[in-house]
Amino acid sequence: MLTEDGKHLYVSYDEYHNLIEKLALKVHQSGWEFDTILCLARGGMRPGDILSRIFDKPLAIMSTSSYRAGAGTIQGHLDIAHFITTPKGHIAGRVLLVDDLADSGQTLHAVMEMLRSSYGSITELRSAVIWAKGLSTFSPDYAVEFLPTNPWIHQPFEAYDNLNPEKLLEKWKF
């Protein structure tokens, strides 16, 4: 649900999963065939996992991080892992890069450039996200929703950002 002022988008679990299914359909309807899904941890892990199951393709994972401060609301220095975890031992062929959103576009742009320059075994690379914001400098190949007002997206699992074991114990009172 987008707030009236367009500054916040609240997404339920059902909406989130429906959007991932719509993303799968966009990729499928494009006719493009790929060999591996590479998701960016953390935001791309849930969509990547579901797409991997739908398309029956191996899931590779690359860790990136730029949103750390303010419970993940303030963008800082971008860190990109030096290694990709993949069941095949190396990433090659046609790769679908998956993340949850193109916010500023910095992460997706940097990862795409790094993959193109450092992984010659990747023959074709495309990107897929649930949301693309109007301010993004990166245009993904596949996106479900374009958000011209650049709202902060409140994803359903963000409640865990402020939950620690002590609060969980209190909740469940074992």
| pLDDT score recorded for residue 76 | 58
Sign of the torsion formed by the C-alpha atoms of 13, 19, 25 and 27: negative
- 162 Cβ partners below 8 Å, 6+ apart? 71
Return the sign of the alpha-carbon dihedral for residues 62, 154, 147, 69.
negative
Residue 142 burial by CB count (10 A; 0-12/13-18/19+): exposed, middle or buried?
buried
Compute the distance between CA of residue 168 and CA of residue 79 in angstroms, rounded to an integer: 30
Q: What is the pLDDT of residues 44-77, one digit of tens each?
A: 999 999 999 999 999 999 998 775 455 455 555 7
Residue 84 clears pLDDT 90, i.e. is over it: no
Query: Domains in the chain, ordered, with CATH?
Result: 8-172 (3.40.50.2020)
Greater pLDDT, 82 or 167: 167
- Is this prediction's pTM over 0.85? yes
Residues in the chain: 174
